[in-house]
Amino acid sequence: MQKDIVVIGTSAGGIEALRALAHALPRDFPGSILAVHHTSPDSPGVLAGILSRSGALPATCVTDTEIIRPGRIYVPAPDHHLIVQSGVARATRGPKENRFRPAVDPLFRSAAESYGPRVVGVILTGSLDDGTAGLFAVKKLGGTAIVQDPEDALFPSMPQTALKHVRVDHCVPLAQIAPLLIRLSRESVEEKGVLKVPDRIRIEVDIAKESNALEAGIMKLGEPSIYACPECHGVLLKITGEDEAQPRFRCHTGHAYSIESLLSEMEDKTEQSLWNAVRAIEEHVLLLRHLAEHGAHSPEAAQELRERAEEMQQHGEIVRRAAIGHPSGEIPQN
């Protein structure tokens, strides 16, 4: 066996990184490359075309199931995870992980489950920390871990987090990754019988394959926390232990979060709630002022309504400062 299953994860700055990598790989590259780049659900799905034009290897956008062949690049359709299973690449709509679908961790875990030491996991430029848990699973099952040197990455957060929590085999600049993959693809891997996959990895791969999370055994992953899932508001389980790179969270419907992605999602939801509060307060102020002008039955009643509107507007300014991020300072003026 060879190290012939290459899984790559990236987000911010990743298009250019993937283009450079595709350009540097030869037509006779013996491995198969599966890559996830964070994209929005309404993305036009042009990554496969971009990568095909960037180098000698043809790229395929996986929309259902594709047989994994050497010398090809596979990327997921928008709003789908990319999963490896028994010689095929699958596009699934399992729960979002780390706020994204596609996410890096499901690809890495599924490849590790199916191919073990044949897998080479690569983390490129990106924000936050998706890919760290998946790269940890690759190493756990005997694979090889490569991380782009953070000082060489446009966005160093993903590589930095992976380096912090995973015992990587190689940390190199982007320009050295293609030659390294070529060298690794020629290395033989010792076959050690049936691969023993930890239950946690198996459960999370099954969830990404669209299995019912409860039936897959999600409640075995950890203990209920005091936090609610920002996506569906279910209770989040806290996942810890020796099979984990760092603490993570999953709700009983399957949404998964690293600590950084959970913080980021909660910050976004909090900001959204604050702006909703600003809108509601401003509508209240408009109604009070309208009633003061057109609906009051006496000058005294009109004045009371105007005072209530002024008080409500002051409350709204406090909430607006918090939403903008200036809780105690001046609100920037246009």
Q: Is 290 a catalytic residue?
A: no
One of 129, 130, 152, 206 is an active-site residue; which one? 130
Which residues neighbour 164 within 8 Å (Cβ) at sequence distance 6 or greater?
none
Per DSSP, 96 falls in state P
Q: Which residue has the tokens 């993305």?
A: 43
Which residue from 232, 245, 228, 256 is spatially nearest to 81, judged by alpha carbons?
A: 256
Per DSSP, 149 falls in state -
149-to-20, 172, 298 alpha-carbon distances in Å: 15, 5, 73
Contact predicate 143/29, CB 8 Å: no
Q: Please state, in angstroms and rounded to a whole number, the distance separating the CA atoms of residues 263 and 261.
A: 5
Q: Is 261 a catalytic residue?
A: no
How many other CB atoms sit within 10 Å of the CB of residue 170?
A: 17
Q: Please state, in angstroms and rounded to a whole number, the distance separating the CA atoms of residues 184 and 191.
A: 16
One of 11, 32, 110, 114 is an active-site residue; which one? 11
251-to-146, 227, 244 alpha-carbon distances in Å: 30, 10, 17
Q: Is 328 a catalytic residue?
A: no
Which residue from 303, 289, 14, 46 is spatially nearest to 177, judged by alpha carbons?
A: 14
114-to-137, 143, 178, 183, 273 alpha-carbon distances in Å: 12, 11, 23, 22, 42
Q: Please state, in angstroms and rounded to a whole number, the distance separating the CA atoms of residues 318 and 233.
A: 27
One of 38, 80, 81, 255 is an active-site residue; which one? 38
Q: Which residues are catalytic?
A: 11, 38, 130
